[in-house]
Structure 1
């Protein structure tokens, strides 16, 4: 009674540890083959929580008795302690050191399934990390796996609908590609697949736990799983998960995810048809808007744009590149691009030759240069009706 109260009173859980003897001998290739392809002959009663709890209690009793005998002989026969004291010390140490973990191993299948519920954002809530290290791992690796899974799922739904539409076109069934027909088709497939998941869930609960699950509850479990709601009122028990479950359940759920994604794609396409787009799209409106988000930056941008337009008009009037750069030095790059690489290269060569033949800056040379200065009035018109007038000063 003391043993039972001390162990069972707090409740034992077997989420990540499996404490039992495999009566089916599923280790090795033969056991792996039998578990996958002959599931009806695979007895899973030894995996149930009550069976594992009985196994741990029996292992604890055996270990405690062995430790008690060992310490009693040491204290009474070797150290010469009084018999009553030796028994008391041996009993105390045996209770402290006995664990009952002999025969317990890590439940890798339950851990893999737990990570699948994180990656798919189902998150039933029947188990959750409590230590800082476990939460940090879920926060980093779990978040990354969620992003990757979301990207793959979105792409998969689009690919499936595209292939289905192409197949209907090839089979001369173009009517099937209508949005409302596609919505009905993929919706029926999705809800039908949930029925299949519900049937398997009832079988799974009865086979693994010996518990009858009503079909309406199984269908509810199918819905909260494929929609990733995961309320936690129904879930798969980690204690009884086996290797084949890591193939069957992900396949069922992933297929449901793809069907749901295809259904939502067609539904959104159908609903968008209710609101025809006659005018420009939102992206086009934002691209053509003149409302500044940052007034200071917008002011500088418009000033530069205005100068660039002025440079285009002056260039069309025959003004040289050098004069434009001198007048509009803050948009020199735009002017260079406007005149092209060839003109820029030739102008650079002319400047280099002129620099090589540069005369001394005496007073006579300055007067000659001043005499060659010519001021020309310029008037240019833009496509929008705007006009530019001014005087351009340049040398002959």
Structure 2
């Protein structure tokens, strides 16, 4: 009989490792806490203690990140009369699909708008991806895209340092911490950007949507992957009119709501801040009221800065001296259910030509043909372009490989373009 490493000589037979204890399935693993739980093939559960997993605090949403459901090798080790799982590492990564991401960023360098993508496995936190949909240039979009992952990690480290440690926090409080960190990171990125923009005399700006996907939350009630005890969560933050949609079964669920002047709350806020809202051939845009009055008599008011969006990073001309266009993100947290199989993020030029349902139907059609996330993201941009979209087009498709695509997802269902986010 193979014995565990360093067992005591008086270990009773029932405490000795049995066949099947060297292999198991992760029920949940939290890389931020570096702790988890594994179900051994012999039917026993073992705790993964701090430092017990080879990947430690690298927590991508892939089997190599020990996502719930991952098959693993492990070394049973006796501690205080109880076996724990050490040296936990993926055993059969090909047998389980994790997160796959497809992006299509068609940059038009000759135009006034420049979009950028931001993507990183952020140590201790999870997978981050963002669309920076620039306007009036591309300097702000590029700066935020490059700086945001580090800013996010710095803010997380600082906020965690204000607690007595992650182990003292409940899973609910950890969720609140990550939500607040994402919001604070957006504010910090804006402060950093405005300092640079002021020195460099940058006058452009960018809408942005950031999605942070994190797993390892212990919840056996409705796990993201059936027959496990873990859930993954989407933490979403956005400023402007880039859009995020969740594909839930056959439904298309909008997670974000555009910050545009046709929204009554945004319209009222802009007016109260000293802004002016005008109709440009059916498109409402915001600008400065004082500059409008100054230029109105000469007819040069159309030459002023007018934006389709009411929130953005940058756009210093609409933030000083009047804070008309703000950078206060909306933040949403959603626990992924087994029926959630993809997240789609697109720029405003795509949604100007395609409804939410159009986007969802195209994704379902292509995935049903066995296409991958890259092909689907390219198809979205191509479809928008075919319908008349011009300039920069950016599409991101994230396929949650642990959620199977079912034939019933192709059923038409409701044709409404909006469903309430859960």
TM-score normalised over the length of structure 2: 0.19
Please identify the structure whose Cα radius of gyration is greater.
1
Structure with a larger share of its residues in helix: 1
Structure with a larger share of its residues in strand: 2
Structure showing greater relative contact order (alpha-carbon pairs closer than 8 Å, 6 or more residues apart): 2
